[in-house]
Amino acid sequence: MADLQDESEAPPSVGAPESPAPVVAGALERAAALLAEHPVADGCNTLVWTLRQTPYHDADSDIPPMRSGAVGAQFWSLLTPTTGDRVVPDTLELIDIAHDLVHAYPDELLLALTAGDLADARNRGRIASFLGPVSGSTLTDSLGTLHAFHKLDVRSLAPAGAAWAQEGLTPFGHEVVREMNRLAMVVDLTGCPPDVAVQIAGASKAPVMISHTAAAALTRHPLNVPDEVLLAVRAADGVCMVTFSTEQTGDSLHAVADHLDHIRNVAGPQSVGLGACFGSDPPHGHPSGLTDPSGYPRLFAELLDRGWSEHDLALLAWDNAARVLRDVEFTSRAAHHRKP
């Protein structure tokens, strides 16, 4: 679709006070129309952890903002801060809670295992619900746990923190990546040291994902990625998803848009996405204007005013994430003959 001329460049009438209202309204209308056609595929929602910590939390309050923000797909994060002997049982508990959440809202959520389920949920007016990532530290010296997670419908794993991916991939780490490719599980590089992230992106035969991060060039933070990782994600045909965390991006919608601009410029429009981490509040909160999913239309309006094309915004919202899932499955089919 062709871009419309930025109305903000039109000079105000002589003697009349400047008013941005018509420009904002026009951008919001365009953003709403675009999101109606290309809903948001969000790479990270931490609601499952909130439900574990506060069982009395009413998820009824979380669904309407997702609807008003045009969320069409969601990865429910199953990451836990626990380590050692507790990490596997705690992860299994999160998987159980995630299944309960999806089953409790059959008119709103649809469990998704494939890219086809992504499209099916969209056609049926549901929010496609993928389970993952789980922590790579749940895997030690056997792929059995990975297979068990796959049978429990988990479709993403994050190597960060695993002994086999701390200072480079060990031989077992290479086995994990190969088996994830075979099982059509997404490799989520969130939190990996930069050199390890680059190595994994190169080792994976399927596109990789960074489900919640921001640009280290703009904000120094342990979870933000430097440009060399962005270039590795681009080379792997992956997607880097920007989070809405004040610590990582700054305290405003405008600051989040700056990170999106930078990642698009470095990794390309085909490798940028959104992973807001709604569902629980980060330590320093969400940026103003993006405190819940209902803020998505305003973010897209801001990007329209910055000159993003509607094509690139469609990639950002839905198409990049959908492509990664399709390509991960294609890689799996190509390797189906490989023994686990």
Q: Is the preceding omega at residue 133 within 30 degrees of 0, hence cis? A: yes
pLDDT at 319: 98
Give the pLDDT mean for 310-315. Answer: 98
pLDDT above 90 as % of the chain: 86
pLDDT at 222: 95
Give the pLDDT mean for 311-325. Answer: 98
Q: What is the pTM of this model?
A: 0.90
pLDDT at 339: 54
Q: Please name the helix (run of DSSP H) or strand (run of DSSP E) that holds residue 28, with its range, or none.
A: helix 21-37
pLDDT above 70 as % of the chain: 91
Q: Is the pLDDT of residue 251 over 90?
A: yes
Q: How far apart are CA 1 and CA 17, in angstroms?
A: 33
pLDDT at 5: 40
Give the pLDDT mean for 66-91. Answer: 95
pLDDT at 55: 83
Q: Is the pLDDT of residue 245 over 70?
A: yes
pLDDT at 25: 58
Question: Could you give the strand order of the β-sheet that contains 40-45, starting from the edge strand earlier in sequence?
Answer: 109-111, 127-131, 71-76, 40-45, 272-274, 239-242, 209-213
Residues 6 or more apart in contact with residue 28 via CB below 8 angstroms = 297, 298, 301
Torsion sign across C-alpha atoms 69, 311, 41, 262: negative
* 20 against 220, higher pLDDT: 220
pLDDT at 6: 41
pLDDT at 83: 85
Q: Is the pLDDT of residue 11 over 50?
A: no
pLDDT at 257: 98
pLDDT tens column, 185-210? 999 999 999 999 999 999 999 999 99
- The overall average pLDDT reported for the chain is 92
